Structure formats: structure tokens, C-alpha cells
Amino acid sequence: MKRNRLFIVLSVLLLALLSGTVPVAALTAEPRLEAEAAILIDAVTGEVLYEKQAGHAMYPASTTKMITCLLALEQLDPEAVITVGASVPKTEGNSVDLKEGEEVRVLDLLYAIMTESANDGAQALALAISGNAEEFALLMNERAVECGATDTNFVNAHGLHDPLHVSTAADLARIASVCMENELFRTLVSTSQYRMAATNKSGPRNFTSTNRLLWDEQDKTRIYVNGVLRHCKYPDAIGIKTGYTSHALGCLVSAATRDSTTLIAVVLKSSDLGRFADSIALLDWGFENYKTVHVMEENTPLGTIKVRRGAVNKVEAVAGRLIAGTVPVEASESVLTTQVTLEPSVRAPILTGQKLGEIELLEGGTRVAVFPIVAASDVEEGGWLSVFGIQDATAAVIKKIVRIVLTGAFILLAAYIVVKRREVRRKKQERARQIQEKRAREEVRRREWDEKYESRYWDDR
């Protein structure tokens, strides 16, 4: 088990001493399970709370359909209609009796595989996505690795027995955790009853979930959980998927939410009803001993960071995901604290979600996890003025002012030139007038002189 039991006991005693009271609920002993392999994790934090041969290779049976469903949700339109191929009705095991040439909505097939555990439905979806079972198996394994399931090898879409078709309790928990992030997946796996509409080859079909945790309150199927006779229905259950073959025996991946805590349990190689008893025992034990504390919500603002060469000179930094920790149920939430470290600056361009720093989650001063701080928005590379730390909006204002100043200067220059030209023209005209007047005066004087000269000439005669 990942969390040290001694630490829990000491925490409880310390809390009791500080508060002056003894906690009402005592810590419970680890559950005794029929399953050969099991694991219990906090669905939010991923912390392992209990494990039993969790890394041991096992046959996953129909819990395989979690990854089949996830791929269908990611690659197909739920409202799309697909035509059932000739090979699909020949699939063995659980079936909803699909017929060759039947036209069925993807959403109806998803309900078929996640409630009735229909192998023919899983095969139909696999062929619709990849064209053949082998190619789909490759896709399943690629997606499983992306989920963190590195000890898993799928060879078919439904989980029918194959010696090479194996996984581990730990891997199935990781896959379930990723799958439960999808809203429609959560709806599918929490549905206990579903009615499929008539098709071109069949009338309406009614489906009942094979996961008895969602609905079974029948006395005839009551089970013993830690020595107490109980119904299979678990009030806090929200999914997920059963599995059973003669080789895998009883398998169940389950999830339940109580208050702000969501747990995922995986049990492998139990009995038919024992898988439900084991799951309830695990979930009960988990809720009795642990809780999830939400420390900081996703997208919480954490300040701004200087942007170099950007269209803007700063970008808002936010928490990249929900920050939460798993603590003993008796512990104070204040035991969890955070320490924020931001980059001093970052160079544009910047994409939304780009890492800008880290948030350390501390439990009693000890680092237990690290979460990313990311950019809240894109920042494009800025213009040449961004070299001087001037953002594009300011640069645009500066450019506008420069244009106005240059335009004004040009207008003044043009006006000056016009005035100067007019002045030159006026001066030329004035000079020409003066010359004309001078010539006129000279002409008058010459005429006067001539007249005087002629007058003298005639007077002398």
C-alpha cells in the first residue's frame, strides 16, 4: 500500500492531542478480498490507496471495453449510423443480437457495450473505426500507453479470452481514470437501464447494466462484505465496467463519489458475485480512511509574466489543472499547502496552455506532487518595436501619432511651398511692374527731352 499506515495513525493521534478530543471514527483494517489482484486509487489525484498484485499480468475480460468505448467517443460521431458487417453477428459471448446489414446508431452501440457488455457491439465499433480487428487492436494499445497503461496488450475490442490479451489492475485503473474525464463516457457507465430504438432489422431492445453496483437490491443476490450481508447496489456508485470469462473469472472496474472524493477500484479474478463484494469492501474502506482535498481550482489566476518580443508585454498565468491531494479522513485540510514558481519572463510566440511555471503541492511541508502553471491565452510575436518592450497596441498608437505628425509636416511644407511660390511670383510681378514703370518714366523723360530739344532748335532759328 502506497500510504504508510503508521503515518496515518500518528496523524490521528496528533490531531486528537491538538483538538483535545478523540476522533469519532477509528481507522479500519484493510479489506480482505477474494480477488487475486486489486487496486484502489483516488480518481482525482491518482494516488494509490490500496493494492494487491496490482502490477501482475491478468486477463481483463470485458473491462477491455473501456478503451473501446473511449476510442469510439473520440473518433466517431455518437449520432452517426453504421451498418453491421457480415462478421459481427458471429462474435461469441454476450450479444445484443446484431444482424448483418442492420443500421445502428453509434450511441446505441456504446450503450450496448457498456450496459449489456455486448461483444458484437464492440466488434461493430472496432470495424467502423479501423476496418479490421488487428488495426483496431494496434489503436487500442497506442491509446492505452497514452493513458499510462504500459503493461497492457490488447488483441481484440471485446475482451474475449486470448492468451496474449492481458492487462494489470494498475493499468486498468489508469485507463478508467482517463475515460472518466469524458462526460458522455460517465453517462454511459452510470446508466443502469437503456432502451434502444427499433432499427431496420430489429424491434426495440432493452438493456440492463451488468454492473450490479448501480441497481441490484434483490435479496436473492445479496452478498457478504466483511461479514455483513448486503445488497449489491452501492448508493455512491457511478460506474464503470464488469468482465467475466472462464479464464479471467469475475472482474470489475468500479467508481464511486462521496462528497468531494471519487474513488476507482479494480478487482480481477474474483467470483461472479465476489467481484461486487470486493469492490464494495474496497470503496467503503477508501471512504472511511481517505478524502480528497481540493486546494486550487483549474484556471485559478496566479499572476502575470513579462513577455519578450510579444504583441503584448505580459501574459496571465493560471493553474493548468485542478490541484488536489489525498489525505487521511481525520486530517485537517490545512495540512496541504502550495508553493508557486513562475518563469521571470518568456519569449513570444506563446500558445494557450504553454507551461509557464510550477505549483508544488506540499503535505506537512513535504512535496507530494507538482502541477503545471500555464498561459491563459495566446500571445503572438510582436512588431519591431517589441524589441524595446513596446506592445503592439502601444506601437499602433505611436505609428498613428507619427503618421499624423508626418502628415501635418507635409501639409505645412506644402503650404510653405505654395506661399513661397506666390511670394516669388508676386515679387517677380512687382519687379516687372517696376521695370515697366521705369521704362515708362524713361520714355516720358525722353519724349520731354526731345520736345525741349526740338523747341530750342526752332527757337534758335
Instruction: Check residue 312 and report its DSSP letter.
Output: S
Using CA atoms, how far apart are residues 381 and 402, in angstroms rounded to an integer? 22
Using CA atoms, how far apart are residues 378 and 376, in angstroms rounded to an integer? 7
Domain-embedded: residue 314:
yes
276 in the same domain as 233: yes
Domain-embedded: residue 79:
yes
Q: Is the pLDDT of residue 288 over 80?
A: yes
460 in the same domain as 379: no
398 in the same domain as 277: no
Using CA atoms, how far apart are residues 337 and 207, in angstroms rounded to an integer? 47
Q: How does pLDDT run across 26-49, given as a tens digit for each residue?
A: 367 899 999 999 999 999 999 999
Model confidence at 159, in pLDDT bands (50, 70, 90)? very high
Domain termination site, one of 351, 368, 388? 388
Highest mean pLDDT among 189-193, 396-400, 442-446: 189-193
- Per the structure, the complete domain to which residue 141 belongs is given by 31-291
333 in the same domain as 211: no
412 in the same domain as 338: no
Mean pLDDT, the chain, rounded, equals 90
199 in the same domain as 180: yes
Name which of 74, 65, 282, 46 is nearest 170 in CA terms: 46
Q: Is the pLDDT of residue 287 over 90?
A: yes
Using CA atoms, how far apart are residues 167 and 357, in angstroms rounded to an integer? 35
**Residue written as cell 465496467?**
241
Domain-embedded: residue 323:
yes
Q: What percent of the chain has pLDDT over 90?
A: 74
What is the number of structural domains in the chain? 3
Q: 41: domain CATH number?
A: 3.40.710.10
417 in the same domain as 310: no
Q: Strands (DSSP E) along 112-260, which ranges?
A: 193-196, 205-208, 223-225, 228-230, 237-245, 249-258
208 in the same domain as 72: yes
Name which of 137, 140, 144, 159 is nearest 61 in CA terms: 159
Q: How does pLDDT run across 167-182, given as a tens digit for each residue?
A: 999 999 999 999 999 9
What global pTM score does this model have? 0.79
Domain termination site, one of 238, 264, 291? 291
Q: How does pLDDT run across 70-86, given as a tens digit for each residue?
A: 999 999 999 999 999 99
283 in the same domain as 382: no
Domain termination site, one of 364, 388, 412? 388
364 in the same domain as 281: no
